[in-house]
Amino acid sequence: MRISHVHLRKIILPLRAPFQTHQGSVTVRELIIVEAEDDDGLKGYGEVTAFSAPFYTSETISTAWHMLVDVLLPQMKEMSIHHPSDFEKNVRWVQGNPMAKAGLEGALWDLYSKQQNISLREVLGGTRGYVKAGAVLSLSDHLEEDIKSLQKSGYQRFKLKVERGKEAQVIEEVQKTAPDLPIMIDANGQYTSGDIPHLLSLDRYGLMMIEQPFSSGDFYLHSLLQKQSKTPVCLDESIMSYHDAVQAIQLNSCKIINIKISRVGGLSAAKQIHDYCASHGVEVWCGGMVESGISKAHNLALASLENFTIPGDLSGSTRYFERDIIKPGIEVVKGQIEVPEGPGIGVEVDASYLEDVTIEKVSKRIQGRFS
C-alpha cells in the first residue's frame, strides 16, 4: 500500500447529555482523529477512543497523543507495510498503548480499502449487509424516558451501567418499564470475591449476561463465578489482546467476549479474536466507546463478520452527539444499521466541521517501505 503523510487531530465533541457511570461523568468527548494520505490524495481515517482520564484503561488521550507523535509515527519510516495487518507486526515491540496503535492502524485499513476500491467489510471478509443495534443506558435520572425513546428506534439489546449493591433496583425499574426487553448489566470491574454470592443472586433476573464483574486481568475470579452462575459472564476490560482472549477461553472465564477494536490494539487483533472465538464456540459482540462516526463505521465493518451474533454497542450518530463528524450520519432503522458499502469505511468525513472541533493538529511525512 502507498502512504505519504499522516495527519493527527485532537478534537472535542460536545455530548447531548452527560454520560454517567459509577466511575464518573463525561460531558464532552475528546478524541484523536488519524488521517493517512497517499500521493494521489486518497485519505483513510482512524480514531483513538481513549478517554481524557484513565478510568477505563490506563491509556488517555494525552498518553495516546504522545505515543503517536513521539513513538509510532517516527517509527513508520523504519516499517515495511504492504498490508494494514503488517503494522501490528511492526509495533509489537511497543508495550501496551493499544488505543494509540488501533487509531493509526484503523487509518491504514481505511486507506488500503480505498486504494483497492472496495469496502472495509469486504476486505475483512464480512458477510452481513446489516447489523443489529444495541444501546447503552448510563446512570441517568431519565431511565424510563431513555428506554421508551430507544425502543421506538428498535434497538435490540440494552446494556445497563450499574452501581454495586443497587443492581436490583435498576433492573427491576427497567423490567417494569419494558418487561420483554433483552438486558445485560455492565459492572466495569467493581466487584470482589466477597460479592460472588450477591452476583449469583442476580440469576433470578434472567439477564443476557453480566459484563466484566471483576477487575481486568483477573481470569481466576471470572472463572470461579462462571462455573457457578447461570448468567453468562462476558469479558471486556480483561481482553486487551488476542492472547488474553485465548487465556480467558482456555480457563473457562467467560461464555461471551466483547470485542472493542481500540481496546485490543486494532482491527487485525480484533479479527483474530473473532476467529478464535468462532472456532471455540464463544459468542462475541462489538463494544462501543462513545465514539464518532469514523469509529462507528469501523465497528460496523467488524460486526459484519459471522460470529458477531449478539447486538453490539452500535448506535446512530445522534445517540451521543448533536452533530457527528461524518455526513450523512449513521442511522438506526428498525433496530438495524446498514453496513456502509462504499470504498473503505464508506462514510464521508465532514471536513469543515472536523476543522471547527479541532484543538490541536500535527502532520508527518512518511517515508517507509511501502508498495
Handedness of CA 141, 147, 150, 156 (dihedral sign): positive
User: Is 161 among the catalytic positions?
Assistant: yes
Cα–Cα–Cα angle for 284, 30, 45, rounded to 5 degrees: 65
31 neighbors 62 (Cβ within 8 angstroms)? no
Which whole-number Å values give the CA distances from 112 to 24, 120, 184, 324, in the listed order?
A: 38, 9, 37, 24
Q: Which of 159, 161, 271, 296 is catalytic?
A: 161
- Helix and strand numbers, DSSP H then E, in the chain: 14, 17
Q: How far apart are CA 261 and CA 312, in angstroms?
A: 13
User: Is 152 among the catalytic positions?
Assistant: no
Q: How far apart are CA 318 and CA 15, in angstroms?
A: 10
Q: Which of 43, 132, 159, 260 is catalytic?
A: 260
107 neighbors 344 (Cβ within 8 angstroms)? no
Residue 187: closest CA among 202, 167, 171: 167
Q: How far apart are CA 195 and CA 164, in angstroms?
A: 9
Q: Strand 183-186 relative to strand 210-211: parallel, antiparallel, unpaired? A: parallel
Which whole-number Å values give the CA distances from 259 to 104, 205, 282, 294, 366, in the listed order?
A: 18, 25, 12, 17, 30
Q: How far apart are CA 241 and CA 195, in angstroms?
A: 27
Provide the annotated active-site residues: 161, 260
